[in-house]
Amino acid sequence: MSDIRPLVAGNWKMNGLRAALDEARAVAVAVAAKQPAADVMICPPATLVASMVGAVGEAIAVGGQDCHANETGAHTGDISAEMLADAGAGAVIVGHSERRADHGELSRDVAAKAAAAHRAGLLAIICVGETAGERAAGLTLQVVERQLAGSLPEGVTAANTVIAYEPVWAIGTGLTPTTEDVGQVHTALRGAMVAKLDDGGGVRLLYGGSVKPGNAAELMGIDNVDGALVGGASLTAKDFLGIIDAFPS
């Protein structure tokens, strides 16, 4: 067992009106009671960040789902890392495959956003992952390593950065890679972080993509998997807590 404190982060994506704060409250109450052996975070849409911080108190952390690289400026519709921090967020996801695909974000953009997160004092959760076609072509490790190298800004440490491996074809599909395949990618990610950083052995490496209560314990038991980034199953307290249960106190 490593001494890394795992992280289970929920990514609500573009889901959640104010009524959904009840689910987050229920997670916070249960986490305070269960004291799981993992940190717990929810990344709601930006509209809910401030109210969620108020709703969940200290029990769980709150993060954003994206940020602009700049602190302020003429960028209609964008949100800076400083704004997320000001709203009470402690983290931000950057480089999610949906942003890379929907908004044409390149790894160098992701690195600039991660640097912005650090500038604002936020934990950067940097996402990487191959498409189905890239996996079929045997390019998984090459793609993931290239994305990782391109998405890491200067100044990365185990304290300010988390890496999430999310195979694009596993997101929202109910499909997951085999434990061997996840282990192979996470071993490669660990090797890359150890080669780059003095404290690379302590960087949390999350797996994401169709994590559910029924598969969480198996996925979370893989070497070098230090938690989960959870989409659909983070939307209800019941399912999210079922995943958090993979880390009993």
Residues found near ligand PGA in the complex (CB under 6 A) = 11, 166, 171-172, 208-211, 229-233
Q: Measured from the CB atom, is 201 or 242 closer to ligand PGA?
A: 242
Residue type present at position 51: S
Task: Give me the least distance between CB of 201 and ligand PGA, in Å please.
Answer: 24
Q: Distance between CA 116 and CA 80 in Å, rounded?
A: 8
- Distances in Å between the Cα of 242 and the Cα atoms of 36, 97, 140 are 11, 25, 29
Nearest residue to ligand PGA, by Cβ distance, number only: 231
Q: What b/e sequence results for 11-34 when a residue is b if at least 16 CB atoms lie within 10 Å of its CB, and e otherwise?
A: bbbeebeeebbebbbbbbebbeeb
Q: Measured from the CB atom, is 20 or 82 closer to ligand PGA?
A: 20
Task: Give me the least distance between CB of 1 and ligand PGA, in Å please.
Answer: 25
Task: Give me the least distance between CB of 142 and ligand PGA, in Å please.
Answer: 22
Q: Distance between CA 148 and CA 37 in Å, rounded?
A: 27
Task: Give me the least distance between CB of 9 and ligand PGA, in Å please.
Answer: 8
CA dihedral 108, 109, 110, 115 (to 10 degrees): 90
User: Of 96, 98, 105, 186, which residue is the catalytic one?
Assistant: 96
Residue 110 DSSP code: H
Whether 166 is a known active-site residue: answer yes
Among the listed residues 103, 99, 195, the one whose alpha carbon sits nearest the alpha carbon of residue 145: 195
Whether 96 is a known active-site residue: answer yes
179, with CB counted inside 10 A (0-12, 13-18, 19+), is: middle
- Our CA angle for 2, 212, 232, nearest 5°, is 115
The pairing of beta strand 7-11 with beta strand 39-43: parallel
User: Of 82, 130, 166, 186, which residue is the catalytic one?
Assistant: 166
The three-state secondary structure class of 155 is coil
Q: Measured from the CB atom, is 82 or 246 closer to ligand PGA?
A: 246
Q: Measured from the CB atom, is 82 or 99 closer to ligand PGA?
A: 99
Task: Give me the least distance between CB of 71 and ligand PGA, in Å please.
Answer: 26
Q: Measured from the CB atom, is 21 or 171 closer to ligand PGA?
A: 171
The catalytic residues are: 96, 166
